[in-house]
Amino acid sequence: MKAINAIRMGGVDVLPLVEGGKGVSVSTGVSSGHWAAAGGAGTVSIVNADSYDADGRPVPQVYHGRTRRERHDELVEYAIRGGIAQARIAHDLSGGQGRVHANILWEMGGAEQVITGVLEGAPGLVHGVTCGAGMPYRLSDIAARFGVHYYPIVSSARAFNALWKRSFSKTADLLGGVVYEDPWRAGGHNGLSNTEDPQTPEDPLPRVLALRRLMRTFGLHDTPIIMAGGVWWLEEWEDWIDNPELGPIAFQFGTRPLLTQESPIPDAWKRRLRTLHKGDVFLNRFSPTGFYSSAVNNSFLLELQGRSERQVAYSTEPVGEHTAPYGVGARARQVFMTEADREHVRLWEAEGYTEAMRTPDSTLIFVTKDKAQEILADQVACMGCLSECRFSNWSQRGPGYTNGHKADPRSFCIQKTLQEVAHAHGEGGDAVMDNNLMFGGTNAWRFATDPFYADGFVPTVGQLVDRILTGR
């Protein structure tokens, strides 16, 4: 394998190895601190990160506010305290080596408040801010205010072009790198456009070359591109290393740090990673963010698929073939569907799916009574963890903090779901893993086939980085 040399990133020389940020208490100060100590760039997630009490125990993120606005303010405060706590841990563990970055989702509710609060509360401890899940136009302004580098996450040259022209060109000196997150291969939320087929992955090389050519027109010859998604062993990317057409390249590892001794995820999650097969992780459209997301196939996703499959169109008046009356809700408010759909509904009701829930698309989905109560309770409890959420009608921008749309019961409460997975330690963890969302890159199945993990071996972060550098 080619020698892996340090590159200039964020004003210093570091190994071209970046830890991918994973939100809600997964990319912690412990994992990122050790990654930075190994000479790369560690990444602390400041998306609902854990903070700790005086005895070092995680503070439960319980929301007491009576209104959504009050609960939203609590969420922002939790995120700021947690982000500061994790940045301090990472700084201490890194011993001044490598770099410590903070990762946040631009579409997180209160994202700008959280970034600002963490950088104010942890001065000098965070060297860069990585941001995606949306178009973070104001990211460069925040970075300039605190003198830190910024790393936008994009899935195409077109997206970076828009960011550069609208904002980033004003603060080019602080652009530490551009993260190309492959929309077919990376875990979590991905920037797949409406013109791209989720079932047909494109070769990342032409897309990254297009990004580099664009960057060169802006004078960004030496600004690194960070390849994210599908990276496992570096020798599989040898054609990218020291490639003059690509320029400086770093590689981001999001999935592999999950199975390390420092990874905070529950043991049940680590065991599940070892059982995955090719195809067990795939893109889906159930996320309340509106983005595609890459997650492990389990009972949770199957239940969401079932909601969409048990779905019929309706009208409020008899129109065309929609002549079969049906009463919705406790008041049995009458709507109309086709006779064929009415027969489907009778079959679903016989199976226990008796509760009809309206969607924003003038359809009804059918769920059990217990599931309907759970969905409604989660929608009412919404605290605005997203700036725009399809599961609820929350909006931090709209009048009255509502987006004016109906909540979509075909989705789920992402805050509740990810908190439960991240903290499912101890007995019952396997059941929690199966009944909640588990993000993952599409190559997570390689844990089960890679000899590096034979006989249940779980490396430290340092051992993983050393093995990546020396080859398999």
In order of start, what are the domains of the chain with their CATH numbers? 7-265+447-470 (3.20.20.70), 299-435 (no CATH)
Intervals of the chain under pLDDT 70: 397-401, 403-404
Structure tokens at 460: 């430290």
Q: Which long-range contacts (CB under 8 A, 24 or more apart) does 169-175 make?
A: 169/218, 170/140, 171/140, 171/141, 171/143, 171/144, 172/218, 172/219, 172/220, 174/140, 174/143, 174/144, 174/147, 174/148, 174/149, 174/150, 175/140, 175/149, 175/150, 175/151, 175/220, 175/223
- Residue located via tokens 């890679």: 450
- Specify the pLDDT at position 301: 94
Tell me the H-state helices in 247-338.
267-273, 299-309
Alpha helices, DSSP H, located in 51-203: 68-94, 111-121, 139-146, 157-166
Tell me, what DSSP letter sits at residue 60? P
pLDDT of residue 261: 97
With DSSP H G I counted as helix, E B as strand and the rest as coil, what are the percentages for the chain, rounded to 5? 35, 20, 45
Residue 398: the pLDDT is 62
pLDDT of residue 400: 63
Question: CA 376, CA 381: separation in Å to the nearest integer?
Answer: 9
Q: What is the DSSP string of 10-43?
A: TTEEE-SEEEPP-TTTTS-HHHHHHHHHTTSEEE
Q: What is the torsional sign of CA 290, 437, 458, 99?
A: positive
pLDDT attached to residue 399: 64
CA atoms within 13 A on the CB side of 181: 29
DSSP 8-state secondary structure symbol assigned to residue 175:
B
Query: pLDDT tens across 178-213, in order?
Result: 999 999 999 888 888 878 888 899 999 999 999 999
